[in-house]
Structure 1
Amino acid sequence: MNSWVLLGVAIVAEVVATSALRASEGFSRLAPSLIVVFGYGLAFYLLSLALRTIPVGIAYAIWAGLGIVLIAAVGWIVFGEKLDAWGLVGMGLIISGVFVLNVLSRTGVH
């Protein structure tokens, strides 16, 4: 499977696990707690496979950047957390940084 697809699925699994972490209420609820363990396990396994061909610095920058943006969106949409204009600006800058790393930089393997 394509390493970039693996990285994308790993990011989604991490976002699902982080969302479930909040819903687990300190691991006091079984179903969300199981989702946390499975989600993080899957996320790290897929990340390890993606790292076979994607440089670790690039993969982690994408993982962290997109994870931050996606979990902030989940917090806003699902959990009703506040997201102000500066938060949106910051997320736009994160997305811009991921774009620069992937499209403009010659650092990673493309």
Structure 2
Amino acid sequence: MEVYTLKPVYVGLGLFFFALGAAGAVLPLLPSTPFLLLSAFFFARGSDRFNQWFISTRLYKNHLESLIRTRSMKLPIRNLPGQDGVTSALLMTEQRYWTASVYL
């Protein structure tokens, strides 16, 4: 009986993590794959209808479909700009120090 009372909570958490994953697909410093994996987990536990909707979205097909089927990620998915964005941000903040050391 308790399982049915948690289903709305699972769907709510799935929607929350889906929104974070969608934002992560657009924003370079926010990862999308972990949030989309969490939303897949919560939708699968919460509702068949929401799970089928999530599986049919373009975000799922672009980011998670190959991971779920083959248990491996494509190289372009692993090397998304978000991962390189952190490195780029660190390099850009340290650039003034590098420039100063070049002139010395």
Tell me the TM-score normalised to structure 2 length.
Answer: 0.37
The structure in which a higher percent of residues are helix is 2
Tell me the TM-score normalised to structure 1 length.
Answer: 0.35
Q: Which has the higher contact order (CA 8 A, sep 6+)?
A: 1
Larger Rg: 2
